[in-house]
Structure 1
């Protein structure tokens, strides 16, 4: 293997990334094509995998290069799938809006990007915080009802809602 990296993970250098790309890109692309079944999506995710590795800045242990690349690619496949589900739901919603009330193409794109950011924000929340937030905002439950349903105290519900509000503010570009 021409990958000249230390025996443990460390900072990623340009030469190492170049070697990693040359040695594993073809394998990763084939691996993705078999899983996705679409050459264009596989190529996009393959490139995004190496970009993510570059942005991360750390070199994988040489013996674990393929598993590390596969792990990054799996996360990107999940992201792609979730985005497509959101896009489909958004397009279904748009199809039901009378044409005269439909948002402009620019507004549609902004709304879709906001939905993707909100979905990612919800996914990053701890499970109890997310569940508390969703029960409050989408089910309309009171803090007391949420506390009873989740077997937690009302002060804990308040704490979780504060964390959720901070996440929302950060997601929307405010200060949290």
Structure 2
């Protein structure tokens, strides 16, 4: 490879990043979400062994970005389902006496701690920082040394894990 050759991905990024971000911003209504998807789109392309020859680069970028949006939608659905399952479990377990309510909450807390122990360190820390400490994605990302997109993926992973484990418990119990 000569020193004068141009990186096709760098050219693609320089020529189309702004357009893709603008398109996503209109679709999502949020500059930060759009920027995350743009970043994820180009990271996905960077991971390819070789960038294909693109006759319609914008169409290719749109398809890639749309796949990421679909994946994000599915992660959110998993998160919502996990939260609903936790709420149903808590509601089903609640009794009328204050002692039973405290006992149920403690049991749920212990169950969550056990589920957390099954996770890798970064997803577990991200979840605790978000849900217990109330930190923002940006604060968590800075503390863990990762992107906000990674923080979102960690949280989705934790919730999907908890949902799967609780679903398995309900199926057997």
Q: TM-score, normalised by structure 2?
A: 0.52
In structure 2, the residue corresponding to 1:56 is in which secondary structure? coil
1:11-160 mapped onto 2 (5 Å cutoff): 15-96=7-88, 97=90, 98-102=104-108, 103-104=112-113, 106=116, 111-114=158-161
Query: In 2, distance between residues paired with 1:19 and 1:78?
Result: 26
Q: CA deviation at 1:17?
A: 1.1
Matched position secondary structure for 1:41: helix
Superposed displacement of residue 19, structure 1:
1.1
> 1:167 matched to which residue of 2?
none
Return the structure number with greater relative CO, CA threshold 8 A, min gap 6: 2
Unpaired runs of at least 5, structure 2: 91-103, 118-126, 128-154, 165-170
CA contact (8 A) 1:83 1:116 kept: no
Tell me the equivalent position of 1:120: none
Question: 2:78–2:160: 8 Å Cα contact kept in structure 1?
Answer: no
CA distance in structure 1 between the partners assigned to 2:51 and 2:12 by the alignment: 9
2:43, 2:116 → 1: CA distance?
A: 27
| Structure 1 unmatched runs, 5+ | 1-12, 118-137, 139-176
Q: C-alpha distance in 1, partners of 2:162/2:67?
A: 18
Cα distance, 1:92–1:47 mapped onto 2, change above 3 Å: same
- Contact 1:29/1:43 (8 A) holds in 2: yes
Task: Name the TM-score, length of structure 1 as normaliser.
Answer: 0.51
